[in-house]
Structure 1
């Protein structure tokens, strides 16, 4: 098996949530076999912004789903959506 790049959209609970703090917690929550390549901020509407996370991980088991669940448990995160998964 190879590696995949997974793109996740992380929505905060509101406009007053500190996205930099969530970004740091996402990087800390990443399992050993997941490499965070990029975390960007995407404007949504009315001042609300989302984090877009690009992570490289092995194409095996439920690594991506488990990572998304860990992010979902971070305080200040409303939802996590897997936008794309591409084979490297």
Structure 2
């Protein structure tokens, strides 16, 4: 099996959400089998900023599900969805 690099777009509940605190919560919520690579900010509109979370997991059963579930469970997260997934060579 190989590794897969994924980008998860995280939309906060509102523009008032503290993005630095949300980044810490995301880092803390990452499952053990997921390796966090980076978190970048993406302006959306009207002050709302999404976070793009890039992480690496083993290619296999379960895939990105546990990571998506963990991030979606964070209080200030409105949604989290995979926007890109690529196999590492």
Q: Which residue of 2 aligns with 1:16?
A: 16
TM score, norm. by length of structure 2: 0.95
Pairing of 1:1-88 with structure 2 (within 5 A): 1-88=1-88
Offset at residue 62 of structure 1 (A):
1.2
Distance 2:78 2:15 in 1: 11
**Long gaps (5+) in structure 2:** none
Q: Given that residues 31 and 66 in structure 2 are in contact (C-alpha distance below 8 angstroms), is that contact kept between their aligned partners in structure 1?
A: no
Secondary structure (helix, strand or coil) at the match of 2:17 reads: coil
The total of aligned residue pairs comes to 88
Secondary structure (helix, strand or coil) at the match of 1:62 reads: coil
TM score, norm. by length of structure 1: 0.96
